[in-house]
């Protein structure tokens, strides 16, 4: 038996079933902790009035009352002793009610010793950290620093988010993080994880909308060898990868209804079964969800299961838009530019000129922080001076579609990415360039060949609708490839042929996914 853990108060176990009390007593003592037992609500209150406990574990149904009364009592007390509940098999509603009342965690009957061990370790790890925080603020300051690094900003909106983070980090209950696209929902989830007792364990983020429906069960729960065609080896899923840590379900609204049923069972039972396996495996995972959609409205419309919604929506966090915290833009911009300097290997980051910074602060940013990151990355790559000037930002416009359309580069003139909407003399489209426009219908009428306007000449033979940004990227990719081929893929020599500097060319090569043919041959030879 492990030695008793010094410096920890005992664990109070409240249950009116003598057999279960004895089982919990033996199991927790084997972990090295002292245990105090109570067989009723009245006895538990008496024990609580006599001394302090490091953890309280109570059954939900007692002979003289409900365990949730103990949850409410301890949640309102200044000592903030962690309390967990024992629920009957399949009683998910009781578990959710207890978590909303302030329970740290829950465990379902029949009690799994592995889950009990994880619950105790998580609770005592949290209690030890809070005791340290009460004695000295070093740990709390470190947690705040971790949260600030992931979610920088001094606006009232962000200060409220960070205050919420500390409360959310103390619980093991599921969290739904809402907010517009690009507002930093994943960063918030990472901050909660980083400041919780699970920080030393994995954080796994999953984009639910990016997984093909026929692969979802395997991706979430894993499979055994031979479970289906192509299953050449046993493989764990997202739940196994996040065991002990946190699983973020990004864009959870995109889960198909059939997968929502399987996810609900995994959350309730804390067990998953690999495809083709004969038994379930216990998993210790805290689940967080992120969505820019209104999940409650989707429940009303029958597009999201109500039982899963209530199981996930125990705790909530709303991420503010960048429009609501414009005063944070200078801090965010500085952090982004410092990150870009590291990526590009620059000894010191570029700075924004005063005019550029004022323009950014005045811009409403419909794409939120993600749009700010993309905008600064482009400006960083194309800026000629040490400081990023107003002209380097390009034409900021609240119309996202119009702002996204950029001219194709011309080999005849220096390429300025923010120059007019169409080049004065469009480059000919090579036969090898893939086109996304649909094939012309017989009745389609081509634009007249002798029109003097350059833009109209550029549309010659085009049948609308057409994906203009994709078509311009195809043209740009082909021209860059021709210049690279002409110089033997020497980027330094190819850059002036395109009217670009080396940094600009590298940026466009990266954005367009252009690879050196020689590199591909080398990889093939290495694999052989």
> Residue 418: which CATH number?
1.10.10.60
pLDDT of residue 369: 93
Same domain, 187 and 244: yes
Number of Cβ atoms within 10 Å of the Cβ of 264 = 18
> pLDDT band for position 417 (50/70/90)?
very low
What mean pLDDT value characterizes the chain?
79
pLDDT of residue 496: 85
Same domain, 114 and 229: no
pLDDT of residue 485: 82
Kind of pairing, strands 65-66 and 61-62?
A: antiparallel
350, 372, 395 — which closes off a domain? 395
pLDDT of residue 249: 95
Same domain, 286 and 429: no
Instruction: Please check whether residue 485 lies inside any domain of the structure.
Output: yes
User: What pTM value is reported for the model?
Assistant: 0.61
Instruction: Please check whether residue 5 lies inside any domain of the structure.
Output: no
Is the pLDDT at 419 greater than 80? The verdict is no
> pLDDT band for position 157 (50/70/90)?
very high
Q: Which of 486, 490, 528 is nearest to 509 (CA)?
A: 490
33: phi then psi, degrees, rounded to nearest 5: -120, 145
Instruction: Please check whether residue 240 lies inside any domain of the structure.
Output: yes
288, 320, 352 — which closes off a domain? 320
120, 135, 150 — which closes off a domain? 135
Structural domains in the chain (count): 4
Is the pLDDT at 351 greater than 60? The verdict is yes
In sequence order, what DSSP letters do the residues of 139-161 get, joined into one string? HHHHHHHHHHHHS---SHHHHHH
Highest mean pLDDT among 174-183, 378-387, 405-414: 174-183
pLDDT of residue 142: 59
Q: Which of 382, 434, 437 is nearest to 406 (CA)?
A: 382
Instruction: Please check whether residue 117 lies inside any domain of the structure.
Output: yes
Residue-wise pLDDT for 434-447, tens only, equals 434 444 444 443 44
pLDDT of residue 397: 56
Give the residue with greater pLDDT, 282 vs 3.
282
Same domain, 148 and 128: no
Residue-wise pLDDT for 44-72, tens only, equals 999 998 888 989 999 988 888 888 899 98
Is the pLDDT at 406 greater than 60? The verdict is no
Give me the CATH number covering residue 385: 1.10.8.60
Lowest mean pLDDT: which of 127-136, 170-179, 455-464? 127-136
> pLDDT band for position 7 (50/70/90)?
low
Instruction: Please check whether residue 266 lies inside any domain of the structure.
Output: yes
pLDDT of residue 334: 92
Is the pLDDT at 80 greater than 80? The verdict is no
Same domain, 357 and 454: no
Percent of the chain, pLDDT > 90?
30
Same domain, 239 and 388: no
Cβ-proximal residues to 282 (8 Å cutoff; 6+ apart), any chain: 112, 114, 115, 270, 271
Same domain, 20 and 128: yes
Same domain, 118 and 147: no
Same domain, 103 and 230: no
Is the pLDDT at 205 greater than 90? The verdict is yes
Give me the CATH number covering residue 130: 3.40.50.2300
Is the pLDDT at 522 greater than 50? The verdict is no
pLDDT of residue 398: 42
Q: What is the mean pLDDT of residues 226-237?
A: 86
Instruction: Please check whether residue 4 lies inside any domain of the structure.
Output: no
Q: What is the rounded distance in angstroms from the CA atom of residue 457 to the CA atom of residue 470?
A: 19
Same domain, 238 and 315: yes
CA distances from 411 to 433, 496, 502 (A): 16, 9, 15
Give the residue with greater pLDDT, 146 vs 248.
248
Instruction: Please check whether residue 3 lies inside any domain of the structure.
Output: no
Same domain, 162 and 195: yes
Q: What is the rounded distance in angstroms from the CA atom of residue 487 to the CA atom of residue 494?
A: 6
Give the residue with greater pLDDT, 113 vs 221.
221
pLDDT of residue 97: 81
Name the residue range of residue 528's domain: 405-528
Q: Which of 457, 396, 448 is nearest to 426 (CA)?
A: 457
Give me the CATH number covering residue 155: 3.40.50.300
> pLDDT band for position 424 (50/70/90)?
very low
> pLDDT band for position 517 (50/70/90)?
low
Instruction: Please check whether residue 496 lies inside any domain of the structure.
Output: yes
Same domain, 343 and 316: no
């Amino acid at each position: 038996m492990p030695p008793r853990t010094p410096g920890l108060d005992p664990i109070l176990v409240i249950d009116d079933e003598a057999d279960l009390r004895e089982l919990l007593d033996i199991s927790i003592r084997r972990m090295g902790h002292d245990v105090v037992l109570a067989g009723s609500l009245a006895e538990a209150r008496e024990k609580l009035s006599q001394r302090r406990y490091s953890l309280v574990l109570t059954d939900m149904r007692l002979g003289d009352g409900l365990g949730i009364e103990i949850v409410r009592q301890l949640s309102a007390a200044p000592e903030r002793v962690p309390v967990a509940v024992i629920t009957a098999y399949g009683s998910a509603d009781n578990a959710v009610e207890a978590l909303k009342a302030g329970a740290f965690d829950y465990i379902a009957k029949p009690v799994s010793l592995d889950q009990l061990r994880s619950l105790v370790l998580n609770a005592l790890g949290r209690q030890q950290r809070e005791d340290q925080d009460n004695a000295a603020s070093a740990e709390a300051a470190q947690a705040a620093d971790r949260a600030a690094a992931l979610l920088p900003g001094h606006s009232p909106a962000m200060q409220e988010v960070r205050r919420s983070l500390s409360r959310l980090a103390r619980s093991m209950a599921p969290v739904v993080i809402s907010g517009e696209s690009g507002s930093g929902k994943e960063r918030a989830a990472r901050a909660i994880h980083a400041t919780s007792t699970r920080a030393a364990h994995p954080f796994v983020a999953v984009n639910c909308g990016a997984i093909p429906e026929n692969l979802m069960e395997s991706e979430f729960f894993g499979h055994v060898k031979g479970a289906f065609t192509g299953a050449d080896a046993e493989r764990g899923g997202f739940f196994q990868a996040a065991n002990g840590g946190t699983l973020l379900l990004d864009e959870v609204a995109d889960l198909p209804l059939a997968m929502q049923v399987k996810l609900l069972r995994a959350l309730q039972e804390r067990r998953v079964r690999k495809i083709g396996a004969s038994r379930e495996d216990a998993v210790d995972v805290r689940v967080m969800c992120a969505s820019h959609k209104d999940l409650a409205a989707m429940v009303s419309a029958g597009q999201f299961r109500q039982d899963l919604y209530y199981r996930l929506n125990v705790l909530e966090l709303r991420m503010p838009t960048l429009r609501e915290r414009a005063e944070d833009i200078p801090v965010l911009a500085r952090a982004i530019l410092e990150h870009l300097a590291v990526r590009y290997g620059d000894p010191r980051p570029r700075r924004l000129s005063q005019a550029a910074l004022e323009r950014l602060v005045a811009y409403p940013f419909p794409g939120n922080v993600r749009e700010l990151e993309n905008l600064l990355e482009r400006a960083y790559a194309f800026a000629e001076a040490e400081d990023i000037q107003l002209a380097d930002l390009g034409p900021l416009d609240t119309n996202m579609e119009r702002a996204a359309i950029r001219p194709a580069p011309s080999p005849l003139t220096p390429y300025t990415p923010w120059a007019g909407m169409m080049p004065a003399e469009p480059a000919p489209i090579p036969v090898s360039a893939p086109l996304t426009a649909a094939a012309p219908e017989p009745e389609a009428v081509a634009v007249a060949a002798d029109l003097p306007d350059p833009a109209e000449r550029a549309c010659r033979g085009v049948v609308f609708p057409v994906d203009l940004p994709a078509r311009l990227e195809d043209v740009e990719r082909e021209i860059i490839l021709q210049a690279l081929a002409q110089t033997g893929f020497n980027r330094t020599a190819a850059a002036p042929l395109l009217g670009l500097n080396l940094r600009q060319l590298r940026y466009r090569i990266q954005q367009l996914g252009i690879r050196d043919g020689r590199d591909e041959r080398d990889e093939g030879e290495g694999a052989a």
